[in-house]
Amino acid sequence: MLASVCQPTCRLFMPAPKVIHQPQTQQALQRGFEQLVQAVAPTLGPLPRRAIAQNLDKFELLDDGGLIARRIIAIPDQQADAGLMLLRQALWKMNQTLGDGTATLAVLFQQIYAEGRRFLAAGCDPNRLRAHLLRLLPPLSQRLVKDARQLRSQEELSALAFSLCYDEAMAVSLGEIIYTLGRFGQVDVRAGHSRHLRHNYVEGSYWRGGAQSQEMLRGTTRAIAEMQDAAILISDAEVEEPAELVPVMQLALRGGIKQLLLVVNSISEKGLSVVLDERLREKIRTIVVKLDEFVPADLQQAQSDIALLTGGHPILQAAGETLADARASDFGSARWVWADDKNFGFASGGGAPQDILATVQRLRAAYDESSDDVARARLLGRLGRMNGGLATLYVGGIAQDEIRQRKDLAERATRALRSASVGGVIPGGGVAMLGCRDWLLDEQATGDEELEARAARQIMAKALEAPTRQLLLNAGYDPSEILAQLTDYETDTGFDVMRGRFVDMAVAGIVDVAQVQVAALQRAVMSAALALTIDVLVLHREPETMTEP
């Protein structure tokens, strides 16, 4: 095991402010890049090495590039720290968006930057070199996914999941979940209370934010309150006084409602006294929940989605409405409603199917068109709820640290499997990128092609070998020897490091997620090409330390 100690560090020193110029700028940036890549690259492949991160008096064993990058808050070398932070942000964003590919991105980035520096020293213009590197991206991306194929069966999804997490029980569960729910299904990964994994399916949709009183959960099975054929009223009200709820309760009683879910922004103890009154509870059972959303736009969107799914109308203070203005037509409905102390949900809502379908189609189009990672994550969450089905995977372990690591692993694998459901898979083990390298070298350069264009081709041809070389190195093989033998085989043939022989990667089930590999290539090229144009570093006396990338 190779241990790279990545210790979060606070800047207790007070460096003097500086302005750094070339060639010191490139040297400083590369020192930072290399330190981070040396910690992340060993995690690539099915036989990875690992890093140890020290956090106060505890040591954490890490095998994921994104988590390693996140654990490194700063390094004492302030000049190199600028480069490390630049790459750290790219790796963490990749991890959060797609769940995989951080090590591939890291080794591609390092190779592109290192080769680019050589050509800059030979007289290439950095901006023209960057332009030619970016110009190669579209054809390389298309070539990379040329032989992509869709995963059609649960077994194929489970096999891919195993290549992502190397945990057979987890792979089987995730394969079944994604096959059952599809790429937009809502998957909730939670810490379990045993050493084993288990999962279950729940019809309907749920949101964070539970019952506002334990009294509402008393006497229920597993501290979950359930109601059948319930009415649902949504509001952004912040209920302080009991009198604010009286008109709603009277309206519900006149309408013959026996079960009511009330969704509000907040409610005081005095307000709860109305719905918890024993005389009223004999006539109408009420569960009050609040939406646990911190961003106002997310809160409003959640209220709108619940109203759409239940056929109700939200009572919004922002529109000048109060709970006293509620009408019978504002109540939505659902066949089954549930709430615990952290979440609430429902199934078989009374919303109009044609309206829900139109919203789903609009959200899918927005998801496919968006390039903003945060926006895509929000759209994915909304789509999962609109689909009306969810799965919960309970991850167990011997100790809390193991449970936390397995939970993170399951979440990353889920994101990668979603991507595979969209863009399919390509031959793994770096074989697809080697195919792009061969295509790039076969392309004939014109005689009048400028220096930077030729340099960009050579840089990319060298970089596309880097993931395969690192994977072989991590598994204990000589990369040069294996790559030399690989030229005697067919295009889709690669080296299976687990079995120690050359195989057809697709037939052997050794595949990579197409979207992940394309994203790693694109982000590595764009980030490294931009870094090659940096000429000056401005170092502050007290730079801000960012715990989040």
Q: How far is CA 21 from the centre of its chain?
A: 37
Q: How far is CA 535 from the centre of its chain?
A: 33
Q: For domain 206-351, give the CATH number.
A: 3.50.7.10
pLDDT given at position 4: 39
Start-to-end CA span in the chain (Å): 27
* pLDDT in 10s for each residue of the chain, 549 residues: 333 334 444 444 445 678 888 889 999 999 999 999 999 999 898 877 766 666 656 666 676 777 788 788 888 888 898 899 999 999 988 888 887 889 999 999 999 999 999 999 999 999 999 999 999 999 999 999 988 898 888 988 998 888 888 888 999 999 999 888 887 888 889 888 888 899 988 778 889 888 998 888 876 656 788 999 999 999 999 999 989 999 999 999 999 999 999 999 999 999 899 889 888 988 999 999 998 876 788 888 999 999 999 999 999 988 889 999 999 999 999 999 999 888 899 988 999 999 999 999 999 899 888 877 678 778 888 888 888 778 889 998 888 878 888 898 898 888 888 888 878 899 989 999 999 988 888 775 555 578 899 999 999 999 999 999 999 999 999 999 999 998 877 778 999 998 899 999 888 888 899 989 999 999 999 999 999 999 998 887 776 666 555
Q: Which two tokens stand for residue 408?
A: 């993170």
- Residue-range domain boundaries for the chain: 18-148+431-457+513-539, 206-351
Q: How far is CA 142 from CA 37, 78, 146, 455, in A?
A: 27, 39, 6, 21
| Confidence at residue 13, expressed as pLDDT on a 0 to 100 scale | 46
Question: Six-digit token pair at 461?
Answer: 């041809």
Is residue 246 within 8 A of residue 326, CB to CB? The reply is no
How distant, in Å, are the alpha carbons of 14, 69, 429, 548 from that of 77? 12, 17, 35, 19
What dihedral do alpha carbons 247, 251, 257, 261 form, nearest 10°? -40
219 sits in the region (left: phi over 0; alpha: psi -120 to 50; else beta) called left
What is the Cα–Cα distance from 28 to 81, expressed in whole angstroms? 8
Alpha-carbon span 329 to 544, nearest angstrom: 53
Pairing of strands 332-339, 266-267: unpaired
| C-alpha closest to that of 227 among 314, 96, 155, 335 | 335
Alpha carbon 218 to its chain centroid, in Å, reads 37
**pLDDT score, position 117:** 95
Distance CA 416, CA 419 (A): 5
Contact 232, 261 (CB under 8 A): yes
Residues 6+ apart with CB under 8 A from 40: 51, 65, 68, 69, 91, 102, 103, 106
ω into residue 23 within 30 of 0, thus cis?
Answer: yes
Count of CA atoms in the C-beta half-sphere (13 A) of 121: 9
Q: Which is it for the CA torsion 274, 278, 279, 280, positive or negative?
A: positive
Choose which CATH entry (1.10.560.10, 1.10.472.10, 3.60.110.10, 1.10.10.10) describes domain 18-148+431-457+513-539: 1.10.560.10
pLDDT at 16: 64
d(CA 284, CA 248): 12
Q: Are 531 and 90 in contact (CB under 8 A)?
A: no
Query: At residue 380, what is the residue type?
Result: L
The residue type of 119 is F
Note the pLDDT of residue 12.
43
